[in-house]
Structure 1
Amino acid sequence: MKRIITAAGLSLAASPALAHHPLNGMPMETFAHGVLSGVGHPVLGFDHLFFVVAMGIAALFTGRKLLTPAAYIGAMLIGTALMYAGIAMPIAETVIVLSLIVLGGIVLSGKALNTTTAILIFATFGLFHGSAFGGSIGGQEGGVGGAVLLGYLIGLGVIQYVIAIGAGWVVTKLGASDATAINARLGGAMVAGVGVFLALEIVEGPIVALLAAA
């Protein structure tokens, strides 16, 4: 337990990368640009990356480690497409932070999810992560073409699925045979810690404003 608490504390030092762009801000104009941007956003955005890692670990112990992450991928792509079409999920960034705390906490607890619950949780949060991804292309001046959008969606889907499956594989290689394994729970502690850190950043502004007005 001491190792778990230590890992959670260390994770608070992680800096969020919420709006990085793999093309250094250059507009996406080709299919290849779309793929590169789709691959880069989940990797450079630590909020998305940590959630996918936790999802891969949680999925490992559902007994359907290949199916359950696919529910997230499908919902995430839908959320991205909806945002591109102008339909945004409400308070997406706040829900994304909540997703880290919730899923990280589940993994930290050492309790395995059943398949139905895992699909429901992964897909629900996937819509909000996708909405954030959609904002990256929806906000591009002049919009993006169909080829760029297709490449972006492919990049997003492939890289996140690979990361999720890879995270489960790594935990297995580290000796985690069930959800109570310390290595798996350490991963949950890290993700939950990052979520708490990002949540504090969200509330910091309003708190400072209230104190200044007092």
Structure 2
Amino acid sequence: MKRFLIAATAALAATPALAHHPLGGLPMTSFSQGLLSGVGHPVLGFDHLFFVALMGIAAAYSGQALKGPLAYIAAMLAGCALMAAGVALPLAEVAIVASLVTLGALVASGRALSPTVATALFAGFGLFHGSAFGGALTGQEGALGGSVLAGYLIGLAAIQYAIAIGAGLLMRRVLSAPGAASINARLAGAMVAGVGIFLSLEILEGPIVAALVG
């Protein structure tokens, strides 16, 4: 867990914004590039990475280790498709930060989520994470090819499902946290909530400075 916290701190120091581009901002023109970008976004975007990992942990303790992440994946893909079609969800970045704080606080409480609450929570926040991922598609020059979109969505779904399942297994078997009340699980929740609070301060910083200067 100590190494996990150190890695999280380093990640925050290296993450200046909530937008991440595995291809360096270059447009996606092939299935493989779409796949690479889809795999890279959730890994390079530490806000998404932390939420997905903690979601996998929470899902494992709610008895939804496999089904819970699927609810997130389905909603995430829907949000991404909506954004690609020009339908942006309002305040997506704020919702993403809220997802970290909310889920982090719930896991830190040491109480397992019920299957119904877990599914609703994962799916609800998944829509907004997907909308943010879809932003990578809106900046494409020219028409977005079907193969690019397919690769991107497959990459997004596969990597995030793997991260969620892996995080749940890691917490329960490697870090010896068999229940939601285990100290390592609660520390992971507190850490992710702290990340969310840190990012919320970044979001508020701009308007506050503008108000003071103006």
Bin of the TM-score, shorter chain as denominator length: over 0.9
TM-score by length of 1: 0.92
| Structure 2 equivalent of residue 211 of structure 1 | 212
1:147-186 matches, cutoff 5 A: 147-172=147-172, 173-186=174-187
Take 1:13 and 1:78, find their aligned partners in 2: how far apart are those partners? 28
Residue matched to 2:115: 115
What does 1:128-143 correspond to in 2, within 5 Å? 128-143=128-143
Asked if 1:200 is matched to 2:198, the reply is: no
Give the Cα separation in 2 of the matches to 1:158 and 1:67: 14
> What is the CA-CA distance between 1:208 and the residue it aligns to?
1.2
Structure 1 unaligned runs (5+)? none
Q: Give the match's secondary structure for 1:14.
A: helix
Residue 211 of structure 1 and its aligned partner are, at CA, apart by 1.7
Deviates more, 1:204-213 or 1:179-188: 204-213
Percent identity, aligned pairs only, is 63
Other-structure match for 1:93: 93
Give the letter aligned to residue 131 of structure 2: S
The answer as to whether partners of 1:12 and 1:196 remain within 8 angstroms in 2 is no
Aligned-pair distance for 1:18? Answer: 2.0
| Cα deviation 1:80-101 (Å, max 9, x = unaligned) | 0000001111100010010000
Q: Secondary structure at the match of 2:12?
A: coil
Q: Deviations over 1:66-122 (max 9, x none)?
A: 001100000000000000001111100010010000001111111100111000000
Backbone CA RMSD of aligned residues: 1.8
TM-score of the superposition, structure 2-length normalised?
0.92
Structure 1 moving runs of 4+ over 4 Å: 10-13
How big is the shift at 1:13? 7.7
Q: Does the 8 Å contact 2:18/2:93 carry over to 1? A: no
Instruction: Indicate the residue corresponding to 2:104 in structure 1.
Output: 104
Deviation, structure 1 residue 14? 1.6
Unaligned 5+ segments in structure 2 are: none
Deviation at 1:143, TM superposition (A): 3.4
Asked if the contact 1:76–1:127 (Cα under 8 Å) also holds between the matched residues in 2, the reply is yes
- Paired AA for residue 55 in structure 1: M
2:112 and 2:10 map into 1 onto residues whose CA distance is 25
Q: Distance in 1 between matches of 2:183 and 2:78?
A: 35
Partner Cα distance (1:107, 1:80) in 2: 26
Q: Structure 1 residues 12 and 91 mapped into 2: Cα distance closer, same or farther (>3 Å)? A: farther
Kept after mapping to 2: 8 A contact 1:137/1:143? no
